[in-house]
């Protein structure tokens, strides 16, 4: 598998990040209706989704737009 990013527009990347954050919130919400063992797994997955959303958000920032 290659590490090259697919040819997606900035809006596509934003939608993917937003969807991952929504999924993370949904996993958090669902975690209150399950056992402690299952909750731990859901929270781990939630953390992974949110971390990936953050990575994608950082990746799509244009260096020209960054303020130093």
- Report the alpha-carbon distance of residue 12 to residue 52 in Å, rounded: 15
* Predicted pLDDT of residue 63: 47
Residue 34 has pLDDT above 80, yes or no: yes
**Out of 8-12, 18-22, 23-27, least confident range:** 8-12
On whether the CB atoms of residues 59 and 13 are closer than 8 A, the answer is yes
Global pTM value:
0.73
Fill in the DSSP letter of residue 34.
S
* Predicted pLDDT of residue 59: 75
Fill in the DSSP letter of residue 33.
G
pLDDT, average across residues 3-17: 83
Residue 1 has pLDDT above 70, yes or no: no
- Report the alpha-carbon distance of residue 12 to residue 16 in Å, rounded: 6
């Amino acid at each position: 598998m290659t590490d090259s990013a697919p040819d997606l527009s900035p809006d596509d990347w934003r939608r993917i990040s937003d969807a991952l954050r929504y999924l993370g919130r949904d996993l958090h919400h669902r975690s209150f209706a399950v056992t402690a063992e299952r909750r731990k797994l859901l929270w781990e997955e939630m953390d992974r989704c949110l971390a990936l959303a953050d990575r994608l958000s950082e990746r799509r920032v244009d260096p020209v737009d960054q303020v130093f």
